[in-house]
Amino acid sequence: MSDIQPMLIDTATKIMKDICTKDLISNAEEGEFPQELWEALKETGMTSIGVSEESGGVGGDIKDAMSLLKVAGKFTAPIPLAETLLANWILGVARLPLKNSPLTLIPALKKDRITFKKVEDGWVVSGKAQYIPWARDVQDMVVFGKTSDGQQVVTTLSTTDCQINRGQNLAGEPRDEVHVPENLIENDRVAIVQNLTYEDICNRGALTRIALMAGALENALELTLTYANERTQFGRPIGKFQAVKQQLAVLTGEVMASGIAADSAVAAYENSGQNEEIAMAKIQVGEATKAVTNIAHQVHGAMGFTDEHPLHYSTRRLWSWQDEYGTDSEWADLLGDKILEEKSDVWSMFTESPRQLT
Amino acid sequence: MLKELELPIVDLPKETESLREDVRSFLSAELQNGSFETRCDSWLSGFSADFSRKLGERGWLGMTWPKKYGGHERTAFERFVVTEELLAAGAPVAAHWFADRQTGPLLLNYGTAYQRQTFLPKITRGELFFAIGLSEPNSGSDLASISTRAKKSGGQWVINGSKIWSSGAHHAHYIVVLLRTSSQGEKKHEGLSQMIVDLSASGVTVRPIYLMTGEHHFNEVIFEDVEISEDMIVGEVGNGWKQSMAELAYERSGPERFLSTYPLLSELINLLSETSSSDHAKNKIGKLASRLWTLRCMSLGVAGMLDKGESPDIAASLVKDLGTQFEKDVIDVARELIPSRPSMHAETKYETLLAEAILHAPGFTLRGGTTEILRSIITKGVGYNE
């Protein structure tokens, strides 16, 4: 844990607790961007945590960034914090100027067709990308892509130059389609990067979802325990029923497992830069999502299934984030393939990666 | 996160790496010279006094105990590494298991100087084995209801009653018995004490209980007017409940709670690697690996807390609950991915391991506290009001 982490978590918790109310989340789903929440985080420098000071960030490491996202996930903050942190990190690596406003990221997945062409006085960027978080709410998008000769490039695009078709995920978070008409971009806004790959971005992206989900899982646990204590049926709290208790214990176990899996994945990634632990943690939070959302809704009864009760703000996000930056199955296939292809004994994979004592 | 659910990340210290290599080369040499065969659930079923003695010679028993009692003053993490390597290899560790895991720490916490000097050095040499006497025929999970009792008579205590499920008592030299030394007070946990009983003493009968495989690991141990001297009482008379519960935290969170079927998983991966595997197989293996890794992180976290003197009861119960479910999941995936005819006398290693795993599995979620009891502890612990 870094020196600033406890203070960071404290401050973020205070801000979220005060501002991130049920009304605010509900209004955000109706399309109202929670500017006040964003400003409060921006003022404390939280939108560029994890980007070194020499790159223009406020410093802190990836652990700090992920612990902040855990808090955001817990309070279901309806802002592009994960995207902004990712995008600013990429800008930092590419040595392009950071932005102090909300950002999103076009990671140029295979199915996205964003092309970069070098011309005499700059670059021509064009194409289409789908499922881009918060594109409608940001001024700038960071685009990572490849040129036809395989060079990796990073640039920022202004959303005013693009056409945006609105879309959303299960949680009502913006996931828009972005059309980039042929745009000429000056040379100094484009960077060729050697030390950043698509895989790096996926890894970091998956880490953001792991952290958000670990936070959301905690919230589902707390809501469910409270409800089980308060809700009375047949003359006693429902949590007094053995059958319910057994379910609560399963839920608790999955949440605890996810918490340590998330922390361990971040630590391992920081130490080794490899992605096995990210795969394993993403699978863990995905499996936990299945168990926890089932049990949380079952215990809450019909009440938890209504718009009125806040449980769904967490569960709908869990169902959405579970499939972002690689579904459980995609990560499991990748990991299983590695284990079977390399005839690697799982045990060696766990025990031979270089580790340091924290 | 609720405070009770926060586990520290433990990255194993660098110095454990060479230790791990030592254990691996020892194990591969032993496998090569045929001193053991990989088994599932080897901490229950792999009894080899010879093997335990060899571990003792290498300094891998009583690793964390003080040197003056034959221990090696190594860290809990070094012990963790040795333990997980032995279990992952399915090595025969049952002989010394309970003495190393439970009796030693119990005596270090509560035993007299005499008891420590008498028992600990021999345990660390792999020469002296202990069994555990907690359950009784009429008290399974409800340990507070035990009725084996000791009555004071002159300078001696006289024990009558019986203990059940005492693994390895037919090989062990001593058994640590939880018993009643005064009648049950208002609280069921009062009036309990722990005593060390020589299994060869007059009045002690060890009766085998065979598993459904036909194997003999469990026993009923019957005490008829067994005389025990005052110096074999562990800790304070009347403090037995607290002492036993502290023992259970060690018992619930170790790597033995998720590695019982690891030898099967390892062989399954070997076989799948030899052919081109389906995506379905890859997916299943990936998911098992994820769970196993998570459990290991949790177990290490609990070890870290125990090392600092904290008592993570809820976390330990969670490791055991999730761990034993995982041990069973390995079996289901194995059966699903490779059609086979498992048998305890099969010709292939895979089929034998699978048979052992299937037939031993019902015990996984019973020993050390049933799933239902653990889950009660968990919900109570996270603030569900009783």
Q: Which tens digits make up the pLDDT trace of B273-325?
A: 998 889 999 999 999 999 999 999 999 999 998 888 887 889 999 999 999 99
State the first-to-last Cα distance of chain A, in angstroms, to the nearest integer: 8
- The minimal CB distance from B375 to the residues A245, A260, A287 is found for A245
CB B178 within 8 A of CB B244: yes
Interchain CB distance below 8 Å, B289 and A349: yes
CATH topology of domain A198-351: Butyryl-CoA Dehydrogenase, subunit A; domain 3 (1.20.140)
What is the rounded average pLDDT for all residues in chain B?
Answer: 93
What pLDDT is attached to residue A109? 63
CB B168 within 8 A of CB B206: no
What pLDDT is attached to residue A64? 94
Burial class (CB in 10 A: 0-12, 13-18, 19+), B270: middle
Percent of chain B with pLDDT over 70: 98
ipTM of the complex: 0.93
Residues of A in contact with B386 (CB under 8 A): 240
Residues of B in contact with A350 (CB under 8 A): 292-293, 296
What ranges make up the beta strands (E) of B165-244?
Answer: 174-180, 192-198, 204-210, 216-229, 233-234
Give the H or E element holding residue A7: helix A5-19
What pLDDT is attached to residue B5? 86
Secondary-structure class of domain A1-79 per CATH: mainly alpha
User: Mean per-residue pLDDT for A235-239?
Assistant: 93
From-to residues of CATH 1.20.140.10 in chain A: 198-351
What pLDDT is attached to residue B2? 79
What pLDDT is attached to residue A356? 31
Token pair for residue A162? 């693009």
Interchain CB distance below 8 Å, A261 and B2: no
CB B90 within 8 A of CB B263: yes
Closest approach of chain A CAs to the CA of B138, in angstroms? 22
What pLDDT is attached to residue B302? 92
Lowest pLDDT segment from A114-118, A247-251, B28-32, B328-332 = A114-118
Confidence tier at B203 by pLDDT (50, 70, 90)? very high
Confidence tier at B246 by pLDDT (50, 70, 90)? confident
What is the rounded average pLDDT for all residues in chain A?
Answer: 92
| Pairing label, strands B156-164, B149-153 | antiparallel
Chain A and chain B share a number of CB contacts under 8 A equal to 168
From-to residues of CATH 2.40.110.10 in chain A: 101-194
pLDDT of B97 over the 80 cut: yes
Output the CA angle B265-B268-B271, nearest 5 degrees.
155
Fill in the amino acid letter for B127: E
pLDDT of A351 over the 90 cut: no
Give residues 10 to 49 of B whose Cβ lies within 8 Å of A. 11-14, 20
Higher pLDDT: B368 or B234? It is B234
Token pair for residue A220? 């589902």
Residues 6+ apart with CB under 8 A from A226: none
Residues of B in contact with A328 (CB under 8 A): 287
Chain A residue with minimum CA distance to B24:
A348
Of the segments A108-112, A211-215, A346-350, which one has the largest average pLDDT value?
A: A211-215
What pLDDT is attached to residue A2? 61
Confidence tier at A334 by pLDDT (50, 70, 90)? very high
User: Mean per-residue pLDDT for A223-246?
Assistant: 94
Burial class (CB in 10 A: 0-12, 13-18, 19+), B339: exposed
Q: What is the CATH number of domain A101-194?
A: 2.40.110.10
Of the segments A194-203, B87-96, B235-244, which one has the largest average pLDDT value?
A: B87-96
Residues 6+ apart with CB under 8 A from A236: none
Interchain CB distance below 8 Å, A345 and B269: yes
What pLDDT is attached to residue B312? 85
| Pairing label, strands B192-198, B233-234 | antiparallel
- Residues A17-54: pLDDT tens digits? 999 999 999 999 999 999 999 999 999 989 989 888 88
Token pair for residue B246? 């502290």
From-to residues of CATH 1.10.540.10 in chain A: 1-79
User: Mean per-residue pLDDT for B117-142?
Assistant: 94
Closest approach of chain B CAs to the CA of A285, in angstroms? 10
Give residues 74 to 133 of B whose Cβ lies within 8 Å of A. 88
Q: Which of B338, B335, B301, B331 is nearest to B318 (CA)?
A: B301
- Note whether B321 contacts A: Cβ–Cβ < 8 A: yes
Higher pLDDT: B22 or B368? It is B22
CB A144 within 8 A of CB A105: yes
Q: How far is CA A222 from CA A215, B5, B311, in A?
A: 11, 12, 23
- Note whether A10 contacts B: Cβ–Cβ < 8 A: no
Confidence tier at A344 by pLDDT (50, 70, 90)? low
What pLDDT is attached to residue B74? 94
Interchain CB distance below 8 Å, B384 and A281: no
- Note whether A358 contacts B: Cβ–Cβ < 8 A: yes
- Note whether A82 contacts B: Cβ–Cβ < 8 A: no
CA distance B288 to B264: 12
Confidence tier at A354 by pLDDT (50, 70, 90)? very low
pLDDT of B88 over the 90 cut: yes
What pLDDT is attached to residue A149? 84
CB B172 within 8 A of CB B122: no
What pLDDT is attached to residue A112? 63
Percent of chain A with pLDDT over 70: 96
Higher pLDDT: B112 or A45? It is B112
Interchain CB distance below 8 Å, B5 and A255: yes
Lowest pLDDT segment from A55-69, A290-304, B54-68, B255-269 = A55-69
Give residues 290 to 309 of A whose Cβ lies within 8 Å of B. none
Q: What are phi and psi of A286, to 5 degrees?
A: -70, -45
What pLDDT is attached to residue A345? 75
Q: Name the 3-class secondary structure at B155.
A: coil
Chain B interface disruption, residue of A62, A266, A277, A351, most B CBs within 10 A: A351
Q: Which residue has the tokens 């902004």?
A: A84
